[in-house]
Amino acid sequence: MKKISLLLTLCCLMNISCSQKNPFFEKYNTPHATVPFDKIKNEHYKPAIQEGIKQQTAEVDAITSNPEAPTFENTILAYEKSGDLLSRTLTVFFNLRSAETNDELQVIAQEVMPQLSEHSNNISLNQALFERVKVVYDQKESANLNPEQLVLLDKVYDSFIRSGANLKGAQKEKYRELTQKLSQLGLTYGENNLKETNNYQLVISDESKLAGLPESAIEAAKETATEKGVEGWVFTLDAPSYIPLLRYAEDRDLRKELYLAYNTKCTHDNEYNNLEVVKEIVNTEMAIAQLLGYKSYADFTLEKRMAENSDNVYKLLNDLIEAYKPTALKEVAEVEALAKITQGADFTLMPWDWSFYSEKLKNQKFNFDEEQLRPYFELENVKKGVFGLATQLYGVTFKENKDIPVYHADVHAYDVFDKDGSFLAVLYTDFHPRAGKRAGAWMTSYKDQWIDEATGENSRPHISIVMNFTKPTANKPALLTFDEVNTFLHEFGHALHGIFADTTYESLSGTSVYRDFVELPSQLMENFLTEKDYLNTFAKHYETGEVLPDSMVQKIVDAANFNVGYGCMRQVSFGLLDMAWYTQEEPFEGDVIDFEQKAWGEAQVLPVIDNACMSTQFGHIFAGGYAAGYYSYKWAEVLDADAYAAFQENGIFDTATANLFRTEILSKGGTKHPMILYKNFRGQEPSIDALLKRNGISK
């Protein structure tokens, strides 16, 4: 079946007649057959979904009614190719629900999700289809299949097993009921989070309360107020607004107010409360896993991860606590000591104080204020720098194509060309926050790569990176923070994984790899941002053209491991919380906030706030595909530190090293086990040593 991302695994049906003018029904008459966003309207989705289900149902029926004996070609490959219209429609629908949603799209989603789940179950629980798949699987040793065909066969067979194909009678009906419920819960959870975020605004009318804030933050808050028709300055829960206030505002009460607003999202006594939704999601995931024969959802998930089981995940997290927590506690003590100089000996450092006094300590230690970097990180220059890194490493080039339709004026589309000049991919970039876009940053695709075995044509991918960066103002272009540039590099690393995809089958293409492996390409790219030779290629003052001075570059390098222990403990705490929820073996009926505080307590190094709650807004693990998988960021960090050591050993721009990374990891997708791919690149299994060395924890 055509690959659909984690958010798109559930499928559809609506009783609405099809329109001949529906762009989903026609061949896309656009450059590279890109999505005709300019022609797609909300009313086109349901008819296309209806017809897509009808077509895929017929395609599956053709497989099961085939009188010939099951083979790889007439069963596995036919299944892989089914559902084209449905996949294309849902890809656009769900991607825009994240990047450019509206009330009508949300209503459509609520209507179709149960039916989408039903369609998905109708396929995965189709006994006749599974029996044909099983025949091919049981005969694979004698079928003379090539390695990639064997991997696809295993993946298809496993997907049926893990979607209930072996369940009988009432168990199958229970599976249908649970998966439909889960799809609805995930939708509700995400919508509540988005609406609660959009509904909040902190209005400041007294200019004196803005003391300490940089000009860029004040100017942005003024523009937000103008957009919202409010006098004064408005701060929101979007990262470009929230982070500067927590980092620079001298008014402690103001910091506390915004911190609590952010960290109590979806806990309030209103229609957006997610406390019960969290319980239901956890219990439903557990029930599905147990129905399939596993003790917990973590056991089910980790079976198909590099980590393999929860013991290995906890070993990683506990090893990191042992290695980093002493450093983290020292960092906290040092920041608190600085605060006490001005606030008094009885001052207790609270979470809303951390960013503020950490920034002051960084300035004191390194004479380094990140706001000083903004003029050198103008978005257009950063784009040149990020694209230029790919050119330097891999020889690829990017050219904006204004003939490609886009879904919002902020979005730009680029043709990507390989080093030999051949067309490689389309890349969409979407940088700034808006009401219809969820928080965070992500990479996705509108079309994945695959090869037509009949013609040999390599159908190239259409990749998108979506972020929420500082917006331009009336007086200044978009000037990014160091963290925002880092995020750009991270998502661009994911994009390269999709851009360089070179596999026969779409289901194995690009980022279709184990979740604890998929972050390697993205996190690898972040390493370059503390390299002088790389920063010098693009970090130029937006007004004077002056290159970022060597003294400031050195400060970036020197400050690279500032509060590295705290940062590690923060990520480990998220991993512990995730694992605590999904290793449950009994239905959870307790208090969500109390459970959370106990779950991640070992990694907490700041006072815990009684009414704060991460679980009600932790979209990664409750609505974003990272359930029992958030540890993946730290798992992949071990990999990326070890992998980047190869670049350091050979020269950070060494094209031979980059080409090996491209051919052995980026291009291979999920065609081999991740450890095989990694060893093919690195020549050895990774160890935590490179990470400890990079972070200054060990010499």
Please report the pLDDT score of residue 527 as a whole number: 96
Q: Is the pLDDT of residue 295 over 80?
A: yes
Domain 6-166 identical in fold to domain 295-367+561-699: yes
CATH class, domain 375-554, is mainly alpha
Q: Is 462 helix (H, G, I), strand (E, B) or coil?
A: strand
pLDDT, tens digit (0-9, with 9 covering 90-100), for 209-218:
999 999 999 9
Rounded CA-CA distance 377/379 in Å is 6
Q: Is the pLDDT of residue 10 over 90?
A: no
Please report the pLDDT score of residue 16 as a whole number: 34
Q: Is the pLDDT of residue 505 over 70?
A: yes
Q: Known catalytic residue: 196?
A: no
- Structural element, H or E, at residue 233: strand 233-235
What is the architecture of the domain spanning 6-166? Answer: Orthogonal Bundle (1.10)
Tokens of residue 647, six digits: 């670049």
Tokens of residue 592, six digits: 């969500």
Please report the pLDDT score of residue 3 as a whole number: 44
User: Could you please report the per-residue DSSP string of 326-339?
Assistant: HHHHHHHHHHHHHH
Please report the pLDDT score of residue 699 as a whole number: 65
Of the candidates 337, 386, 387, 328, the one whose C-alpha atom is nearest the C-alpha of residue 361 is: 337
Amino acid at 665: I
Q: Is the pLDDT of residue 615 over 70?
A: yes
Amino acid at 247: R
Q: Which residue has the tokens 């849902």?
A: 90
pLDDT, tens digit (0-9, with 9 covering 90-100), for 444-463:
999 999 999 999 999 999 99
pLDDT tier, 7 (very low <50, low <70, confident <90, very high otherwise): very low
User: Could you please report the per-residue DSSP string of 634-667?
Assistant: HHHHHHHHHHHHHHHHH-TT-HHHHHHHIIIIIT
Contact by Cβ (8 Å): 200, 261: yes
Report the interhelical angle of 252-263 vs 351-366 (nearest 10°): 120
Domain boundaries, the chain: 6-166, 200-263, 295-367+561-699, 375-554
Of the candidates 211, 553, 236, the one whose C-alpha atom is nearest the C-alpha of residue 372 is: 553
Please report the pLDDT score of residue 15 as a whole number: 33
pLDDT, tens digit (0-9, with 9 covering 90-100), for 260-275:
999 999 999 999 999 9
Please report the pLDDT score of residue 368 as a whole number: 86
CA dihedral sign of residues 465, 471, 475, 476: negative
Which position among 191, 359, 491, 519 bears the catalytic label?
491
The H helix count followed by the E strand count for the chain is 26, 9
pLDDT, tens digit (0-9, with 9 covering 90-100), for 389-401:
999 999 999 999 9
* β-bridge partners, 432: none
β-bridge pairing 423-430 and 412-417: antiparallel
What is the architecture of the domain spanning 295-367+561-699? Answer: Orthogonal Bundle (1.10)
